[in-house]
Amino acid sequence: MDEKRLVITIARSYGSGGLTLGKKLAKELGIPLYDREILRMASDQSGINEELFGQVDEKVRTIFMSAKGKYKGMPLTPEYSAFTSDDNLFELQADVIKRIANTQSCIFVGRCADYILKDRPYVISLFFYASEEDCMVRLRKQVSGTDQELLKRMHDIDKHRADYYKYYTGHEWNDARNYDFCLDTGVMEYDKLIDVVKYYIESKNN
């Protein structure tokens, strides 16, 4: 692994606390975290309205879900009619992720970053998940709504993330084989979870 650079990707089930863990880990390691900032940066780089990126953020709108592994690694330029297509919006975000990873240590949350950066030796990919019960405990504290509404939201968002991952990578989002390290976040408090992740990172670096 490149000792001068550490890039961590985080995939997470909804309610697992993945984003919170990512922010805490970024603070502990002293490196930036990129989540929705990717949308703004892709907008700035391409000139396409950020709202369009937001409409397809970790979700697939096409009905042709039989098409898998759509990521090509080659974003189109403005002269192409498909420049603002959903697939090219993904390609433009992926290009931003690669550019950032080329220059600094950082953490990426979601957006298939693990797959986009899969061939880079300095990248560590993490997947955070929790039982439905543990996710509900967190969601009740963070999101308003009845248990039935929260449960539906959880299932819908996880389905969007799974479909998105499958569509662009051709792989199953919650398959442990896609990641370096998977962690059940319901088994301990955030600080201890961070300690576990840091230990893993240090072990992999040695």
* pLDDT of res. 2: 47
Helices (H), 35-169: 37-46, 50-55, 86-101, 113-116, 132-142, 147-169
- In the chain, domain spans: 7-205
Q: Rounded to whole angstroms, how far apart are CA atoms 206 and 194? A: 18
Can you tell me the distance from the alpha carbon of 120 to that of 106, in angstroms, rounded to the nearest whole number? Answer: 14
Q: Does domain 7-205 have CATH number 3.40.50.1980?
A: no
pLDDT value at residue 104: 96
Assign 3-state DSSP to the chain and report helix, strand, coil percentages, each to 5: 50, 10, 40
Question: Coil, strand or helix: which one is 128?
Answer: strand
pLDDT the model gives residue 38: 97
Beta strands in 13-82 (DSSP E): 33-34
- pLDDT at residue 64, rounded to an integer: 63
Q: Are 144 and 31 in contact (CB under 8 A)?
A: no
* pLDDT tens by residue, the chain, 206 residues: 445 799 999 999 999 999 999 999 999 999 999 999 999 999 999 999 999 999 999 999 876 656 577 899 999 999 999 999 999 999 999 999 999 999 999 999 999 999 999 989 999 999 999 999 999 999 999 999 999 999 999 999 999 999 999 999 999 999 999 999 999 999 899 999 999 999 999 998 77
Cα 64 to Cα 45: distance, rounded to the nearest angstrom: 28
* Residues pairing with 107 in the sheet: 8, 33
Question: Which of 17, 2, 5 has its CA nearest to residue 183?
Answer: 17
The predicted pLDDT at position 62 comes to 72
Task: Determine the Cα–Cα distance for residues 21 and 17; give it in Å rounded to an integer.
Answer: 6
Per-residue confidence (pLDDT) for residue 70, from 0 to 100: 86
